[in-house]
Structure 1
Amino acid sequence: MRELVFATNNTHKTEEVKQLLAGQYQVLNLKDIGCDTDIPETGNTFAENARLKTSFVETHYQMDCFADDSGLEVEALNNAPGIYSARYAGQRGDRENLELVLKNMEGITNRKARFKTVVSLVQQNQHYFFEGVINGTLREKASGAEGFGYDPIFVPDGYDITFAEMSMAQKNEISHRAQAMRKLISFLKSATL
């Protein structure tokens, strides 16, 4: 069975993908291949950051690999926090990042926002990209206890609850990351036929 590295240290994400690709690929994460490097995300786009991770694994480990980068883009904030979503308040901290977005949105009536994910895949020296986007609006106050990051203030279009008020299964049906991962998995399955 062919090996495929998911450039993440998140074991929960790794297990989800392992189940989806069972029988076709042996999915490994960074820990599995002995990589403890914090791969720098110095790109200017989600695609560039995702590709930096896959290129790192390809260069240093000579293995097929995929990685994702994602974030929140707020229309009234010129698509900020964008690629800086995880460190918008200066360093990593979900609560601080969320509070800064709410502060910067005070008094603004345009609440349109979207979550975006780009997955980069390098396979047999070829690079591929898969994108997922979900549009929505931002609440003025956080609500819900599920999810992470900006989930407590993001209401996807067509819903009246935030991502943080949804079950994980419900969010995973519609989320930006789920969309991009479904495209990746479809591509990988068709490539092994």
Structure 2
Amino acid sequence: MSNEIDLSKEKINVLVAYTSQNRYIGYEGDLPWKRDFKGDMKYVTKLIRLYPNTALVVGKTTYETIKRIKDVQILVVTSSEVAEGNAKSFKTLPEAIDFAKSSGMYVIAFGGSKIYEDAIRSYDCKLFCTVVEENSLKGDRTFPEVDARLENVSSKVDQFLVDKKVEKTWELKDNCFYENGYEYRFYVGYKI
């Protein structure tokens, strides 16, 4: 795999999908686009599972939507206790990240809004952004503005998925994924 689409061991990896104009990441407890395109989910799943020692750092609401994910440690930042299967709870983001780093894990900030905001504000980050063309999508949760240098890596993600023998449910054209009426692009870069 190309270095630019590899997870960073040194930085906090931020994996996010958001809409192009309003930066929506959520709507009424789900994704603004529901689960209508698979290319992004397949990429995220393959990327996360490629690394044997990975921690997803999430807030409580995001945890409720991803708790069925296995094979990774889920670190939940919450004021309440979570102790199911592969999940551990922490009171603060720094506590969760310190735990993951001291355990030699790849750290991935995986949502929601507050986790993204705090991670980007407080840490050096490598950003993995799926940007969905807005159309008429609604949202009530957003991804924060971040000063970053991003590169379109859609063709590299497409090749990565082909190499991993993932069933292709999208079309790649002009460095953009097209699937079920949606257009989306993959970007990777670093917070400046």
- Both structures adopt the same fold (TM-score exceeding 0.5): no
Normalised by the length of structure 1, the TM-score is 0.26
Greater per-residue helix proportion: 1
Larger Rg: 1
Normalised by the length of structure 2, the TM-score is 0.26
Tell me: higher relative CO, structure 1 or 2? Use CA pairs within 8 A at least 6 residues apart. Answer: 2
